[in-house]
Amino acid sequence: DVLNKAFGINAEYGGSCQKLPVVAAPKLGDTCSECTLIAGEVITLLQNGAIDDLIKEAIGEICGVLPISNCEQTLDGYFDQLIAVIKNLDGKTVCSLAGLCSYTTEYSYIQNLFF
């Protein structure tokens, strides 16, 4: 209840607070481990369609201040493609693509698709 109130989520607005599983923290202190942990959390969040909607709403706001023609359609298209790829990757592969971890097999496959 306290968490629901703290984050503004309650049954009145149709929201709920899910209990997340407790997992052992990976060894931190190196960029790859930290990136992998964060990327994994982001990938998990992206599985939620409501998060996609929030990001698209933010894109609309960004495009409101950018002098780019067809900004929203262009960014929406890139966003959809990028999210579709990211949702099918693991955190370490995302971090490898960003150059923060050593390469993985998935990295080589993705690298061949896009570059």
CA distances to 32, 43, 47, 51, 104 from 110, rounded to whole Å, are 18, 16, 20, 24, 10
Phi-psi region of 47 (alpha: psi -120 to 50; beta: other; left: phi over 0): alpha
Whether pTM > 0.75 for this model: the answer is: no
pLDDT at res. 51: 86
Separation of alpha carbons 32 and 36, rounded Å? 6
pLDDT at res. 83: 87
Which pLDDT tens digit goes with each residue over 30-64?
889 899 999 999 999 888 888 888 888 898 899 88
Exposed, middle or buried by CB within 10 Å (0-12, 13-18, 19+), for 79? middle
Are the CB atoms for 33 and 39 separated by under 8 Å?
no
Run of H or E residues at 57 = helix 49-65
Residue 6 has pLDDT above 90, yes or no: no
pLDDT at res. 68: 85
CA distances to 76, 79, 104, 107 from 48, rounded to whole Å, are 17, 15, 26, 24
pLDDT tier for residue 9 given thresholds of 50, 70 and 90: very low
